[in-house]
Structure 1
Amino acid sequence: MNNELPKFERSPILPNVEEDKEIWQPRWDCFCCQDTGQIQAHLVRLIISDYDPNRDRIPVCQGCNKFDRHNLRDYGVLDTRFDLFLCKKLDAISRADWKQVTEKQFEKYKKQLDITTGQIAKTHSLASSDRTSNDEREVQQRKAEVEAISPEEWKAMNESYLVGKKDE
């Protein structure tokens, strides 16, 4: 029964490109509409303060021409008052916002890394600072004894303690 069904090749929307996994690398070219052709609502509100995307006409980006105007032109749902100059300004604002947000995220992650690294260093320093000179000498002596064990002795201990004796 499955043999009757046709087989299709994949038809991906996005190209097969090795992505840079960094958070500050968007996939879109136009920051005004994020390559959708429809200006982002938060940018429209900079021009139309009480903009409602559910009730108002669709503001069309003139900067990248990605919006399919042919299907919707006859219905009068497009807002074409946003000219190329205004779209370029909104693009620049959105790029600046994007840069600022990613810099804040980078700083946040850097602080988290610094805090974590500092806590690890503090833990290590506290562990060694709580030792007396006798404790430190004993730790160094045990370390030297462990480092002096030959590979043959390690193998014998492994068979004796961890694996178990073969005679049992």
Structure 2
Amino acid sequence: MPTTSENLIKIDKTDRRILEQLQQDGSLTNQELADKVGLSPSPCLRRVRAMEDAGVIVRKVTILDHKKLGLSLTAIILIGMDRHTPERFAAFEEQVAEYPEVQECYLITGQDADYMLKVVVPDMDHYHHFLLNRITRIQGVSGVHSSFVLRRVIDSTALPLGYLS
């Protein structure tokens, strides 16, 4: 469902400060968070829980260093589909969601592709196996174009909250 002004969540300056802090460090205790945003712990916790209940805070994760874990190859894959039907797209999305190598999957426009995937694997051999034995075997995949990340210039999960009023 498209986002409309009716289903946007209102965020005030204090909520924005809370979200900015949590985006930088989701492991903050409520006391630490309250201190950083200038609230006492109870109102801070109420605000966080309200934003969780409203779906603004979706989940909290730990970000790992991919290279220290031996995952040194990141590929961006553009994928073309043979038919543009809801069933074909749904089947592709369901299949690709099962692959832990896929960090991100987007249905896109403006390219000669329908999907863009961000994939992380140990090396080129693993990528080759992933491409030939998984991606190209998904029914409907008609074209694949791979690019490889040389260096991560900006690698952030934080949303730009300065646009919020």
Compare relative contact order (CA 8 Å, sep 6+) and give the higher one, 1 or 2.
Answer: 2
Higher Cα radius of gyration: 1
If the length of structure 2 is used for normalisation, what is the TM-score? 0.23
If the length of structure 1 is used for normalisation, what is the TM-score? 0.23
Query: 1 or 2, which has the higher helix percentage?
Result: 1
Query: 1 or 2, which has the higher strand percentage?
Result: 2
